[in-house]
Chain A
Amino acid sequence: MGAITRGIKGFFAKLYLWIFCKFFTFIIVITLSLKRKRMSHDNGIGAIGRATIVKNQKFPAHDFFEPGQVFDLRIRHASATFLDDAMNCIRSMSIKFSKNEFKSPFDLEMNTGEISLFWSAWSFFKFAQLRKEKYGVEYIEYYKKYPEGLEGAKIALRRNPNSFHDLRYYSKTPFKFKGKDDIKRYAKYRIIPFDNIPETGIVDNLSDVDTGNQRIFPNETRGRNYLKEEYETRVKTQEVKYRLQIQIRTAQDDENPEIFNNMVPWNEEMFPWHDLAVLEIEKTLNWEDSTRTGFSLNNMPKTLGYIPAKSIYDYNSLNYMRAHSEWARKARMFSYKIFKFPRPIPNDDDRNSEDWKKIQKNKVSKFLRS
């Protein structure tokens, strides 16, 4: 009897998660994608190069990660959510083992900070609900209510880093890893600079009340696009290399769900980071190609994909939700065709802004007039 009840309850929890994710994606499509916007990471720059799987592997062998194998690589660095590089933002690096805009055998989406600002689909919903952004200040209410969210922000925000290249990017929520030995394992990924130079942009002693203030410093001399411009120059003038690393743990029957919690890093002594691949960047992409670039957690081999989630409160529901937001990307691509391509971010004095509409206004009006 108990098993039947549990089964029914489990079914409804999953059904609710599915409906929740679909509905959330629908809202994103309506409110953002059709306005040619991503959910958060509009302000970015793409690049291409190659990824070479390391030969001397210290992690369990996997069919996909054959030693020495070279993949095409397309990446995108971005600052969330504002359209101003000089603000205190989360920075991201997404990669795909392909030069295509979207199609790829392996994608990863990563952000700065070892922990995140939310930990489940439901938590992400509250995060979105309580953003209440105004003039570059946001999440005040969210940070007040959710101490881990505040802590995550303090750890993940990067103000005025020297380069996208300097930073450390984490996948946070774990993925499946079923290697050649067919043993069930979990994996987390991160990217660090190849030469492991110190990270810049870390803000020390950020006060609780000021974490939500992401505005540029007074008298800021860095422009709205300084980080993208720096990256462009860097790729042109010097070698830009990263290490993709992996952390592996074996699955247990009596797993503590906390191991899936993206707010709880795995102990590095017990689960050390191992080099997985070397990423070499050859050239940056222009605004249009960068903007077209899209990533998906569905772009992964089955043995490396996201871990199924049981409910909207499950820590794995975050990746589940990401994987189920494919329609948002498709709608965005569709909107590019309908409304023409969005304009790049100008180097003007509209600081602390996330006003995408304002940037696109001229174009849109022109389109409507034509």
Chain B
Amino acid sequence: MAIYPPNKTQKDIDEVYKRAYERTKIIYPKKKTFFSPRLRTLHQISIDKGYLASTLVGIGDFCIDLVAACIAAVKKINRKIFPREDVIHGTKKDSYVTGKITFAKKNDLTTPIHHMQVEFWARTFFGGWRKMSSGHTDEEGVFKLYFDFIEAKKFKYRRSFHFEIHQVEHVFFNQDSGEPRKKVSVFDSFKVKKSDLTGMGYDLGLIQLFYWEYRDDVPIPRVVIKEQNEDAPEYYSEGRNEAAAEQFIPIEIIKDKHLLQIKRNPQSISIESIQDDYPTNLTVAMEREIPGSTRCDYWFGRRMMNGMSCATFLPDEKEKGKYWVKIFGSCDYEVNQEFAFPTVYGQFKIADNGLPLPTKIIVKGQTDAYNKNPFQEKTFTPNDGEKWEQAKRIMRVSSALSSEIDDHFAGTHLNTEQYAIAVRRNVRLNPVAELLLPHLKEVTLINHTADTNLIGPGYIPRASAMTAEGIIERSKDALGTHDWKNWKPMEPISEQHTFAIASNLFWDVVHQFVDYFFDENEEDIKKYWYEIYCMSNDLVNNSVPLFLSEQDSRKWTGEERELNQDRIEYNHLRACFDNTLSRDIINGKKKSISSITKSKNTPAEGDMDNLKDMCKYAIMVATFLHTYVNEHQYEDIGEVLYCSLGLRYGDKEDGIFQPENDYSIAPDLTRATQMMWFSNLLSRTEYGFITRNEEHDIHPYFSKLLLDKKEEFAKLHVNVENIESRTNI
């Protein structure tokens, strides 16, 4: 196929794109009723479990929901009858409870939990809550809560007092004044016998909290989640679960139906029927109007530049005006022998319309079941007819998988989690908590779900070349190219490079917002600098080593060296990673994340700017960068034959170089429906947007700044209303 389908022009495609986009864009529905099917939490989803199929499960769920609703109602009534008023009872401060709070995991036992909110409560014989004292732990994790001893000894109080450790669950903002309000929950509580209070001090001793602990079982900074619904460091907001359920239930029903059909009557189902059952995505809608509109070179270049892959265009040193896009395939990561994942280099020129047009595609590595040489190369140009079309598909598929693991999972999800953990472990009184928590919340939860649904034994290892081990190793490496320091968005290479232009526009908004926030809160940010110091230490100490720095480069063969140097150069450029910075070396490993401060109590010169930059970066990654790759999944991997995450080798001699209608290389039926389920799930269940501000958890100034640029973003095909405030899907 040529640049455009026969007898069609760019204008035709652009118009069909607009119509298809309007038709297929995701509408967020209204609230459900009590009797609609429900999903208690997002973590219940599974790629192959027929969650809604069984009547028994349905009845069981209804009962559980009923019990949960009753418990919630009782709790609500209880809270109404026995409110916890923020009034200290007693006048004197002549006695105190003391103790020390540290983390609980081995290797973390001696780390104090500083500035943790602690409270001391009594209950009257009639159940009323009476606050005796409140305060925070100091830098050593020690708390000393003074209270009125004689008041506490009064007969009206029950025999047990409650020492409680509180944590900030969510941050909200008054939408008029911008004043933050923290929703605090009890993280842990201990009973203190009234009779043990003797005046003077009472020591609760060492309290070890299993609180935002780093995992030891993966080489990536991840938080331990024992049980997502009951023993997690954080929980989804109610709205998030509801929104997920609304969008997810119909998709789940389709997948369950397909899995049943495949099991009972495989003849009744095909890739086409699977595709037809799911909501029509962008490429399907466009193809229906103009066949070939999404397979032509114009669309290929346009999506490579501004689609889910939002590729980096590296200027060709030999041919002026040309660029290389490099998609690194399986490399030396663990792969299976069912799916191909070749490395693909695409050469592009920028056409007069400002969009890239592919001029050459080099496929490197294994592409059939027989020749396993990882360094074999095949070069194609637009003159190669059908093979050129196949090469484009192969590049799309490799790019989709790479984008899914390197950019989406590692670059945004895991990248955000490492900031979320460091902030949650350390930042509490510093206003930076109010700035960042709304953008860093829930990422750990969705990543925990991804561990099983996306990685082992989830979708990607079943539907692509990568094994679970391979994904973890690859993600760790990918994370090694991400750092806040000196980061800036991708440079646009033409006026049609809408992804890069929009990134820069959003970056400007983030700059304005964060600068404003720092101006407003500078004093307290400096006052609680110790929290930043500890956060920086956690962030750096737990970050992964620099990309490929653990490999012994002296052992590389010539071909490996060439490939790895290409990977380092391209990935550093892609992640805007400044390799010239001196970074901390811990236990012999050069850490990928730069330190924000080395100064314990007050910011040293440049430290405030460092902190600002880190905050800007974390917000940028968790919001715009994640949303971009996440929402484009529905457009770019929402059609099985257009682009899946893997092409099977099949048994033909030329392996994956087959036309789209050869289903022997396409995903099989199960994986086809799972793929559709997966892309729909991830794109459709977004919740928590900056401008919609459903929970009032976004600073109104941020929303306003973004809304002010609505028109500008719209010209770049970005709907600001759809930019998520956090990475939670």
- CB closest chain-A residue, reference B150: A313
Residue B149 is within 8 A (CB to CB) of chain A in the complex: yes
Q: Does B196 lie within 8 Å of A126, measured CB to CB?
A: yes
Q: Number of residues in B with C-beta < 8 Å to the partner?
A: 13
Q: Does A123 lie within 8 Å of B149, measured CB to CB?
A: no
- Which of B94, B199, B202, B203 is packed against the most chain A CB atoms within 10 Å? B199
Q: Which residues does chain A contribute within 8 Å of B98, judged by CB atoms?
A: 147
Residue B200 is within 8 A (CB to CB) of chain A in the complex: yes
Q: Which residues does chain B contribute within 8 Å of A123, judged by CB atoms?
A: 198-200
Main secondary structure of the interface of A (DSSP, over half): helix
Checking B94, B196, B201, B205 against A148 with a beta-carbon cut-off of 8 angstroms, the contacting residue is B201
- For A139-169 the 0/1 string (1 means CB < 8 A from B) is 0000011111100000000000000000000
Residue B574 is within 8 A (CB to CB) of chain A in the complex: no
Q: Which residues does chain A contribute within 8 Å of B94, judged by CB atoms?
A: 257-258
Residue A175 is within 8 A (CB to CB) of chain B in the complex: no
Residue B153 is within 8 A (CB to CB) of chain A in the complex: yes
Residue A263 is within 8 A (CB to CB) of chain B in the complex: yes
Q: Does B205 lie within 8 Å of A144, measured CB to CB?
A: yes
Q: Does B149 lie within 8 Å of A148, measured CB to CB?
A: no
Q: Which residues does chain B contribute within 8 Å of A258, judged by CB atoms?
A: 94
Q: Does A146 lie within 8 Å of B203, measured CB to CB?
A: yes
Given A257-B94, A258-B94: A146 touches B150 (CB 8 Å cut-off): no
Given A313-B149, A313-B150: A145 touches B199 (CB 8 Å cut-off): no
In the bound complex, what is the Cα–Cα distance between A119 and B199 (angstroms)?
Answer: 8
In the bound complex, what is the Cα–Cα distance between A258 and B95 (angstroms)?
Answer: 11
Q: Does A313 lie within 8 Å of B202, measured CB to CB?
A: no
Q: Which residues does chain B contribute within 8 Å of A257, judged by CB atoms?
A: 94
Checking B153, B198, B205 against A126 with a beta-carbon cut-off of 8 angstroms, the contacting residue is B198
Residue A120 is within 8 A (CB to CB) of chain B in the complex: yes
User: What is the CB-to-nearest-CB distance from B150 to chain A, in angstroms, rounded to a whole number?
Assistant: 7
Q: Which residues does chain A contribute within 8 Å of B205, judged by CB atoms?
A: 144-145
Q: Which residues does chain B contribute within 8 Å of A263, judged by CB atoms?
A: 200
Q: Does B198 lie within 8 Å of A147, measured CB to CB?
A: no
- CB closest chain-A residue, reference B205: A144
Q: Which residues does chain A contribute within 8 Å of B153, judged by CB atoms?
A: 313
Residue A122 is within 8 A (CB to CB) of chain B in the complex: yes
Q: Does B200 lie within 8 Å of A146, measured CB to CB?
A: yes
Q: Does B200 lie within 8 Å of A145, measured CB to CB?
A: no
Q: Does A146 lie within 8 Å of B149, measured CB to CB?
A: no
- Which of A118, A145, A315 is packed against the most chain B CB atoms within 10 Å? A145
In the bound complex, what is the Cα–Cα distance between A145 and B98 (angstroms)?
Answer: 9
Q: Does A119 lie within 8 Å of B198, measured CB to CB?
A: yes
Q: Which residues does chain A contribute within 8 Å of B200, judged by CB atoms?
A: 119, 123, 146-149, 261, 263
In the bound complex, what is the Cα–Cα distance between A149 and B150 (angstroms)?
Answer: 19
Q: Does B203 lie within 8 Å of A120, measured CB to CB?
A: no
Within residues 311 to 340 of chain A, which ones have a CB less than 8 A from any CB in chain B? 313, 315
Q: Which residues does chain B contribute within 8 Å of A122, judged by CB atoms?
A: 198-199
Given A126-B196, A257-B94: A145 touches B202 (CB 8 Å cut-off): yes
- CB closest chain-B residue, reference A256: B94
Q: Which residues does chain A contribute within 8 Å of B198, judged by CB atoms?
A: 118-120, 122-123, 126, 146, 313
- CB closest chain-A residue, reference B201: A147
In the bound complex, what is the Cα–Cα distance between A263 and B198 (angstroms)?
Answer: 13
Checking B149, B150, B203 against A147 with a beta-carbon cut-off of 8 angstroms, the contacting residue is B203
Q: Which residues does chain B contribute within 8 Å of A148, judged by CB atoms?
A: 200-201
Q: Which residues does chain B contribute within 8 Å of A119, judged by CB atoms?
A: 198-200
Checking B196, B199, B201, B202 against A120 with a beta-carbon cut-off of 8 angstroms, the contacting residue is B199
In the bound complex, what is the Cα–Cα distance between A149 and B203 (angstroms)?
Answer: 11
In the bound complex, what is the Cα–Cα distance between A315 and B200 (angstroms)?
Answer: 11
In the bound complex, what is the Cα–Cα distance between A243 and B536 (angstroms)?
Answer: 60
- For B131-167 the 0/1 string (1 means CB < 8 A from A) is 0000000000000000001100100000000000000
Within residues 253 to 282 of chain A, which ones have a CB less than 8 A from any CB in chain B? 257-258, 261, 263
- CB closest chain-B residue, reference A12: B155
- CB closest chain-B residue, reference A258: B94
Within residues 181 to 211 of chain B, which ones have a CB less than 8 A from any CB in chain A? 196, 198-203, 205
13 A-B contacts (beta carbon < 8 Å): A118-B198, A119-B198, A119-B199, A122-B199, A123-B198, A145-B196, A146-B201, A146-B202, A147-B200, A149-B200, A313-B153, A313-B199, A315-B199
Q: What residues make up the interface of A, taking CB atoms closer than 8 Å to B?
A: 118-120, 122-123, 126, 144-149, 257-258, 261, 263, 313, 315
Q: What residues make up the interface of B, taking CB atoms closer than 8 Å to A?
A: 94, 98, 149-150, 153, 196, 198-203, 205
| Beyond A123-B200, A146-B201, 9 extra complex contacts between A and B, CB < 8 Å | A118-B198, A122-B198, A144-B203, A145-B202, A147-B203, A148-B201, A313-B149, A313-B150, A313-B199
- 7 pairs of A and B residues whose beta carbons are closest in the complex: A123-B198, A148-B200, A147-B201, A147-B203, A122-B198, A126-B198, A145-B203
